[in-house]
Amino acid sequence: MAKLSLDGVSKQFGDARPAVVDFSLDLGEGGFLALLGPSGCGKTTLLRMIAGFETPTGGQIRLGDRLLSDAVGVVPPERRNMAMVFQSYALWPHMSVAQNVGYPLKVRGISGEEHRRRVVDALQSVHLLPYAERRPADLSGGQRQRVALARCLVMQPDVVLLDEPLANLDRHLRQEMEETFRSFHQRSGATMIYVTHDQAEAMVLATDVAVMSQGRLLQMAQPAELYARPNGRLVGGLIGQGVILALADDGYPARDYDGERIGRALARTDDAVCHVDVLVRPQDVEVAGGGLDARVTSIVFEGERYSARARLDAGAEVAFYCRTSLSVGERLSLAIRHGWRLS
Ligand SMILES: Nc1ncnc2c1ncn2[C@@H]1O[C@H](COP(=O)(O)OP(=O)(O)OP(=O)(O)O)[C@@H](O)[C@H]1O
């Protein structure tokens, strides 16, 4: 196994706006990358280029020192030792679970004891051995997805590409499958790339998250880093909860804003020429005396806590959590503890 490198990769379909633009990243061996972005931003196109189903119009894709794709030529998908798992599972309905999982081995002429052993291992790893003789139609959605995973595991791929594999599952099953993906990743040691537009899924699963918009890479970082230090409005708005305040720019060079600085900026009544975007997370806003006067605009019970929003008398709206219920319209005082300047 080796590092996967994308260097200035682009893709344009005909005269349309480019689907992927000058995209570069390195993913270390055994890494788990989530490719996150809104619908139509080019995630699937990028994945298909990595798999070899699409030819880039520019740039290069490498696995270790092996050139897989550039605008001149591509190594065909079957010679990349990569496996792709789709949203639709793509299982053969007339084959049993074991036959589905063993199919890629059969195609490569692997039979007998080795075939049997690899199928059993793959089924065991996704806890489906007792279902080996069933047909896909007799399985739940989550079980079908696990068959698709086992079928990819059986090939011992260097890279596993997953295109929104949980999109068709309900919330409970998604959580269960997230666990399956994590242990699959640990067990296989494969490099994984996981396409999703669900930021929560990306954050819990991946070792690295790449945020895309309009074909471009906006930021790639580990989940905790991306959450704490997002770059730009788009990433700030996409990752985690919070509101973005447009504050008068006082030339402060650092990106961490304390509550005092935010309060001062909010209190300014002159028309500032320049503004900065400052992200304020709900956990950094507290109901506390002597803070900023506000009026509650919404409150939602989330089980462990309430999630609320309030409009400050200074104009902006902020989000916060609280332990007890509040009424819409209720007056209260809020202390903002911290903010992060997005650019
Ligand atoms: N084969 C194709 N021919 C022409 N245009 C295409 C083709 N495939 C994708 N596109 C265009 O490229 C852009 C990116 O599409 P892509 O499917 O990669 O986005 P995505 O981020 O995966 O979206 P989604 O989350 O909705 O699946 C879109 O504007 C899409 O219409």
Per-residue pLDDT tens over the stretch 159-184: 999 998 887 777 777 887 788 888 87
**Range picked from 28-32, 195-199, 201-205, 221-225 for highest mean pLDDT:** 221-225
User: CA 182 to CA 291: how far, in whole Å?
Assistant: 43
Question: Considering only CA atoms, which residue is closest to atom 4 of ligand 1?
Answer: 13
pTM of this structure: 0.87
Q: What is the pLDDT of residues 79-135, one digit of tens each?
A: 888 988 877 778 999 999 999 999 989 988 999 999 999 999 889 878 899 999 999
pLDDT-wise least confident of 15-24, 120-129, 310-319: 120-129
Q: Whose CA is nearest to atom 24 of ligand 1?
A: 39
pLDDT at 146 over 90: no
Measure the N-to-C terminal CA separation of the chain; round to a whole number of Å.
Answer: 37
Q: Using CA of residue 182, residue 187, residue 193, residue 195, what is the dihedral sign? A: negative
Q: For residue 98, which phi and psi values (nearest 5 degrees)?
A: -65, -40
- 186: exposed, middle or buried (C-beta count within 10 Å: 0-12, 13-18, 19+)? exposed
pLDDT for the residue 18: 94
CA 188, chain centre distance (Å): 20
What number does the ligand 1 atom closest to the CA of 197 have?
A: 25
Atom of ligand 1 nearest to the CA of 41: 21
CA atoms lying within 13 Å on the CB side of residue 80:
24
Q: How far is the CA of 20 from the centre of ligand 1 (A)?
A: 9
To test the pocket of ligand 1, the residue of 11, 39, 44 to mutate (highest count of ligand atoms within 8 Å of its CB) is 44
Instruction: Calculate mean pLDDT across residues 298-327.
Output: 95
Confidence of residue 269 (pLDDT cuts 50, 70, 90): confident
pLDDT tops 70 at residue 272: no
* Lining residues, ligand 1, CB within 6 Å: 13, 16, 19, 37, 39-45, 197
Return the best residue to mutate from 9, 17, 45 for the ligand 1 pocket (most ligand atoms within 8 A of CB): 45
Amino acid type, 54: E
Q: Is 90 left (phi over 0), alpha (psi -120 to 50) or beta?
A: left
Residue reference for tokens 């009544």: 269
Q: How far is the CA of 168 from the centre of ligand 1 (A)?
A: 19
Find the mean pLDDT for residues 46-64: 94
Give residue 13 CA to ligand 1 midpoint distance, Å: 9
Mean pLDDT of the chain: 91
pLDDT in the model for residue 94: 95
Using pLDDT thresholds of 50, 70 and 90, give the confidence band for residue 302: very high
Specify the range with the lowest mean pLDDT, choosing from 116-130, 177-191, 304-318, 321-335. Answer: 177-191
Q: Whose CA is nearest to atom 26 of ligand 1?
A: 39
215 CA: nearest ligand 1 atom: 14
Closest ligand 1 atom, CA of 195? 22
- Expressed in angstroms and rounded, the spacing between residue 215 Cα and the centre of ligand 1 is 10
Q: How far is the CA of 19 from the centre of ligand 1 (A)?
A: 6
> Across the beta sheet with 243-248, what order do the strands follow?
243-248, 275-280, 338-341, 256-258
The structure tokens 């890494």 sit at: 31
Measure 220 CA to ligand 1 centroid, in angstroms: 21
How many separate helices (H) and strands (E) can be counted in the chain?
Answer: 9, 18
Ligand 1 center to residue 190 CA distance, Å? 26
The residue type of 131 is Y
Cβ-based neighbours of 117, under 8 Å, separated by 6 or more: none
Helix (H) or strand (E) holding 22: strand 20-27
Q: How far apart are CA 167 and CA 125, in angstroms?
A: 22
Residues 251-275, mean pLDDT to the nearest whole number: 88
Range of weakest confidence among 15-19, 48-52, 154-158: 154-158
Q: Which residues pair with 69 in a beta bridge?
A: 61, 74
Q: Which pLDDT score, from 0 to 100, does residue 72 have?
A: 82
Which pLDDT does position 304 carry in this prediction? Answer: 92
Q: Is the pLDDT of residue 140 over 90?
A: no
The distance from CA 299 to its chain's CA centroid, rounded to whole angstroms, is 28
**Residue 331 CB contacts under 8 Å (≥ 6 apart), including other chains:** 293, 294, 295
Our CA angle for 98, 99, 101, nearest 5°, is: 65
SS3 assignment, position 336: strand
